[in-house]
Chains A and B, each alone.
Chain A
Amino acid sequence: MKVELHVWRQAGPAAPGEFVRYDVADVSPDMSFLEVLDVLNEQLVARREEPIAFDHDCREGICGACGMVINGRPHGPERATTACQLHMRHFPDGAEIWIEPWRARAFPVVKDLVVDRSAFDRIIQAGGYITVRTGSAPEANSLLVPKRDADLAMDAAQCIGCGACVAACPNASAMLFVAAKVSHLGLLPQGQPERHSRVADTVAQMDAEGFGACTNHGECMAACPKEISIDFIARLNRDYLTATLRRQTSDVRGDGVEA
């Protein structure tokens, strides 16, 4: 099959970008979307043009490195599928495909389709963890976790940190990402001592990074390759409210330390 690609090319963060058209022939329906870009890049190299830069690594939908908006949808048209797992059998022969990077102020473009997602790392650094010194953990089975809670925590923990939720959101909000981490840890007994400081600190960092606010569009959930539910955003909101009230009423941080 043949495809007509329109790819966003941008030399650097400050350079202006534009769509450039490339026609690719001999595309096999068994190819992954990124393999089509590989083929195109080989052709560009043969013509001594600069290949398209795009992030990718595991190509099995788990590392979260790849991400591009395909025909207006993060990771493309298939439900619960990252760009690397999207196969060309889902496109008609001769398809016209528009490819662009995640667009969000907090994710500046590095080059072409590559963006800087280090804001996500800084959110986790601000509190997206359970404090546990190596070596001081108690015997694992001394802590019972109801299967239901463990399963729900796992649903949230599946987040791959790709940023599709931000790209899909009209406000470029990172609420689903933050909610997934806050819920994963907040659903488990191990996560309770820091539950409220965690939500307060990660939300503060999210705001500081320039992500927008959540106005319940739900686009994030539709775009999420791991189908993480916006129910977790409701959980985050509840925990955030509790954390805020606690802070206001007792001047005490969520973790019990005097502010």
Chain B
Amino acid sequence: MSVALRSQVPSGPLETKWARHRSEIRLVAPANKRKYHVIVVGSGLAGASAAASLADLGYDVSCFCFQDSPRRAHSIAAQGGINAAKNYQNDGDSVFRLFYDTIKGGDFRSREANVYRLAEVSASIIDQCVAQGVPFAREYGGLLANRSFGGVQVSRTFYARGQTGQQLLLGAYQALARQIGRGAVKMYARHEMLDLVVIEGRARGIIARDLVTGKINAHAADAVVLATGGYSNIFYLSTNAKGCNVTAIWRAHKRGAAFANPCFTQIHPTCIPPTGEHQSKLTLMSESLRNDGRIWVPGRAGDERRPEEIPEAERDYYLERLYPSFGNLAPRDIASRRAKEVCDQGRGVGPGGSGVYLDFRDAIGRLGRHVVGERYGNLFEMYERITGENPYTVPMRIYPAPHYTMGGLWVDYNLMSTVAGLYVIGEANFSDHGANRLGASALMQGLADGYFIVPYTLGEHLALVKPGGADTSHAAFRQSEREVTERITKLMAVNGRRSVDTFHRELGRVMWDKCGMSRNAQGLREALERVRCLREEFWNDVYVGGGNEDLNQALERAGRVADFFEFAEEMCHDALQREESCGCHFREEYQTAEGEAKRDDDRFAYVAAWEFSGVGNPPVLHREPLAFEAVHPSVRSYK
């Protein structure tokens, strides 16, 4: 097998690439569209918007999700907002500025043309969502309201209280529901994709397991779209929903899709710190809180006083001190790393010293409790519910937690992977955020891909293939089904002594320590060794229990954790080969005297796309060089 990375970026000036490409993409005749069956896996912002839009166009669509309803996909938990270059605030925003902020925020490790297109379609997303009835925040005059978000200096973020993801997802879900109602989409809820079927180099379908009956089903299609989200749960503790996993993209990777930049994982600075061993997940506090909250720790280590007893002069507002122009709005990677740094110096607050204050005292003084409540009331309530502390009177405690993964399956400009007919959208692909994602950009990308990109670019592939070219009687489907079934049987048969969760926790601890907020070569080599041992132990000692013919949540988790084990090694290999610091990837060996990331454009201005070469074998590295035509990679400064 060989991997060819052809980015398919159209020629011509950056500003006209997408418009021109769109008018040159092959079209499928309206009467023929219904003959093409498209499978969409995942029903979050990217999946639901893609499935609904493709059905709108006339394609025959099937959509799969592991949740009991497509409305529960994890996009629903996004709090803060969605960016769009509308320039409604008259503050100088533009498509170019949104593009530039995003590519700079990603530390110049994303593909220029993709990022520009993302900024370009951002405005249409807001139009689409408003038309669907998404109740965005409004001004008194009835116009849409905006706020600013981390890493930028304009107000371009649209929001619906602290539940923007929920409202956008419900908009997409309702569009999908309409298509299900009219019979244009067949929905498979409580189904998990367990394999991709590739015939003669083309994606031809999937194998899925019905989670209620345990039945393994084959589904043939003319194209497959993966919208299965990110893999932050490799760390066990993350802000992701418990069910989020790498399985769909990992299995596709094993069938030939290259995996790009797996080590680019975002650690979000504002999460509620863990309280003990029982902790099952971490809760994010929206980054929008940093607009009005001030982050600080005591000036000296081991200061045990209560926050209100610490006088102003003995507080260290470290982000404001280090980054005077961005202050508390410094990008996520920087805010997270600096929080870890002050905690490592012994200045952390709360149980175990793993926390920093996010203080609203000054904002309440300046704006009044009412205004602060209107902006953040539901977040404050959520915080109080979890911690039992009232943020109106006691500063919040926050600490970084894994939140988003910029890495994902490699895709070309059309969002097609290295397997023909396999498209990857949303967080599951790698293309738009480089080494670090800016706040309020994930929702934008998911919906851009689903509403406005894949519905066009899919035609490029479909126009070349005859509809209905594969059916599930093909030997490749039988083979995949057999392999999936054997793997499940094998998992159940181990019959060891340890639960799935204990293995997952242990894997998460190794990855957090060695391949988390900061990394070094020695630690990564240790992690590779440790992960390999743990993986072997897992296959010798895991206990799943229950049966395979009804709902078995332990079995579902076991399959996902088994895939995380395989994937973890690839993540470490990626982090090891990238001998530079960029964005969220901080290699301790490569930093400036001030502790900032030291990028190496001469050696590492490329996308690392990995080819699978067998479980436990080092994957093969392929490089897509990143060329910048419109912007010059600068040293990212937020001082």
A interface list, Cβ under 8 A from B: 11-12, 28, 30-32, 34-35, 38-39, 42, 45-46, 48-51, 53, 55-65, 78, 80-81, 85, 87, 89, 110-111, 114, 116-118, 120-121, 124-141, 143-147, 150-151, 153-154, 157-158, 160-161, 184-185, 188, 190-191
Whether A38 pairs with B501 at a CB distance below 8 angstroms is yes
- Determine if B545 is an interface residue (Cβ-Cβ < 8 Å): yes
Bound state CA distance, A85 and B178, in angstroms? 32
Whether A35 pairs with B280 at a CB distance below 8 angstroms is yes
Whether B170 pairs with A120 at a CB distance below 8 angstroms is no
Whether A114 pairs with B545 at a CB distance below 8 angstroms is no
The residue that B385 contacts in the complex, of A48, A87, A130, with Cβ under 8 A, is A87
User: Contacts A12-B550, A38-B278, A161-B69 known; A62 to B174 CB distance under 8 Å?
Assistant: no
Q: Closest A-chain residue to B543, C-beta based? A: A45
CB neighbours (8 Å) of A50 from chain B are: 545-546
Shortest beta-carbon distance from A183 to chain B in Å: 11
Bound state CA distance, A133 and B278, in angstroms? 46
CB neighbours (8 Å) of B275 from chain A are: 28, 30
| B contacts with A, residue count (CB < 8 A) | 79
Bound state CA distance, A185 and B189, in angstroms? 25
The residue that A154 contacts in the complex, of B135, B278, B284, B451, with Cβ under 8 A, is B135
Whether A60 pairs with B382 at a CB distance below 8 angstroms is yes
Whether A144 pairs with B135 at a CB distance below 8 angstroms is no
User: Contacts A64-B71, A130-B133, A147-B140 known; A57 to B177 CB distance under 8 Å?
Assistant: no
User: Contacts A51-B545, A129-B174 known; A144 to B142 CB distance under 8 Å?
Assistant: yes
User: Which stretch from B23-31, B103-111, B121-129, B199-207 is at the chain A interface?
Assistant: B121-129
Bound state CA distance, A134 and B52, in angstroms? 8
The residue that A30 contacts in the complex, of B68, B212, B276, B545, with Cβ under 8 A, is B276
Whether B278 pairs with A125 at a CB distance below 8 angstroms is no
B142, B452, B501 interface centre (most CB from chain A within 10 Å): B142
CB neighbours (8 Å) of A34 from chain B are: 280
Whether A62 pairs with B177 at a CB distance below 8 angstroms is no
The residue that B72 contacts in the complex, of A64, A80, A151, A188, with Cβ under 8 A, is A64
Q: Closest A-chain residue to B456, C-beta based? A: A135
Whether B72 pairs with A110 at a CB distance below 8 angstroms is no
CB neighbours (8 Å) of B126 from chain A are: 140
- Determine if B553 is an interface residue (Cβ-Cβ < 8 Å): yes
Whether B174 pairs with A124 at a CB distance below 8 angstroms is yes
- A–B pairs, 24, beta carbons within 8 Å: A28-B276, A28-B278, A30-B275, A31-B276, A31-B278, A35-B280, A38-B501, A42-B502, A53-B553, A57-B243, A58-B74, A58-B241, A59-B242, A60-B77, A87-B386, A114-B68, A124-B173, A129-B133, A131-B178, A134-B52, A140-B129, A141-B143, A157-B160, A161-B71
CB neighbours (8 Å) of A116 from chain B are: 68
Whether B545 pairs with A184 at a CB distance below 8 angstroms is no
- Determine if B139 is an interface residue (Cβ-Cβ < 8 Å): yes
Shortest beta-carbon distance from A148 to chain B in Å: 9
User: Which stretch from B161-169, B415-423, B564-572 is at the chain A interface?
Assistant: B161-169
Which residues in chain B, 38-72, are within 8 Å of chain A measured between CB atoms?
49, 52-53, 56, 67-72
- Determine if B136 is an interface residue (Cβ-Cβ < 8 Å): yes
- Determine if B13 is an interface residue (Cβ-Cβ < 8 Å): no
Bound state CA distance, A117 and B124, in angstroms? 33
Shortest beta-carbon distance from A118 to chain B in Å: 7
Q: Is the interface of A mostly helix, strand, loop or mixed?
A: loop
A34, A45, A126, A151 interface centre (most CB from chain B within 10 Å): A45
Q: Closest B-chain residue to A186, C-beta based? A: B133
Bound state CA distance, A220 and B550, in angstroms? 32
Given A60-B284, A132-B132, 7 extra CB contacts under 8 A? A45-B543, A53-B551, A58-B74, A118-B69, A143-B130, A154-B135, A154-B167
Whether B133 pairs with A184 at a CB distance below 8 angstroms is yes
Whether A137 pairs with B130 at a CB distance below 8 angstroms is yes
User: Contacts A51-B553, A118-B189, A129-B175 known; A61 to B382 CB distance under 8 Å?
Assistant: yes
- Determine if B473 is an interface residue (Cβ-Cβ < 8 Å): no
- Determine if B141 is an interface residue (Cβ-Cβ < 8 Å): yes
User: Contacts A140-B127, A161-B71 known; A124 to B177 CB distance under 8 Å?
Assistant: yes
Bound state CA distance, A52 and B49, in angstroms? 34
Bound state CA distance, A138 and B129, in angstroms? 10
User: Contacts A125-B178, A154-B160 known; A110 to B551 CB distance under 8 Å?
Assistant: yes
Bound state CA distance, A60 and B78, in angstroms? 11
Whether B242 pairs with A56 at a CB distance below 8 angstroms is yes
Bound state CA distance, A218 and B306, in angstroms? 44
CB neighbours (8 Å) of A133 from chain B are: 56
CB neighbours (8 Å) of A127 from chain B are: 181
Bound state CA distance, A57 and B187, in angstroms? 20
Whether B241 pairs with A141 at a CB distance below 8 angstroms is no
- Determine if B581 is an interface residue (Cβ-Cβ < 8 Å): no
CB neighbours (8 Å) of B83 from chain A are: none
Bound state CA distance, A62 and B127, in angstroms? 25
Bound state CA distance, A85 and B386, in angstroms? 7
- Determine if B476 is an interface residue (Cβ-Cβ < 8 Å): no
Bound state CA distance, A151 and B139, in angstroms? 11
Whether B135 pairs with A153 at a CB distance below 8 angstroms is yes
The residue that B142 contacts in the complex, of A56, A124, A146, A153, with Cβ under 8 A, is A146
Q: Closest A-chain residue to B283, C-beta based? A: A60
Q: Closest B-chain residue to A26, C-beta based? A: B278
Shortest beta-carbon distance from A221 to chain B in Å: 18
User: Contacts A38-B280, A145-B138 known; A137 to B241 CB distance under 8 Å?
Assistant: no
A28, A51, A58, A191 interface centre (most CB from chain B within 10 Å): A58
Whether B136 pairs with A150 at a CB distance below 8 angstroms is yes
Which residues in chain B, 285-307, are within 8 Å of chain A measured between CB atoms?
none
Bound state CA distance, A139 and B494, in angstroms? 58
Whether A111 pairs with B174 at a CB distance below 8 angstroms is no
Bound state CA distance, A126 and B178, in angstroms? 7
- Determine if B180 is an interface residue (Cβ-Cβ < 8 Å): yes
Cβ proximity bits B174-214 to A, threshold 8 Å, 1 near / 0 not: 11011011000001010000000000000000000000100
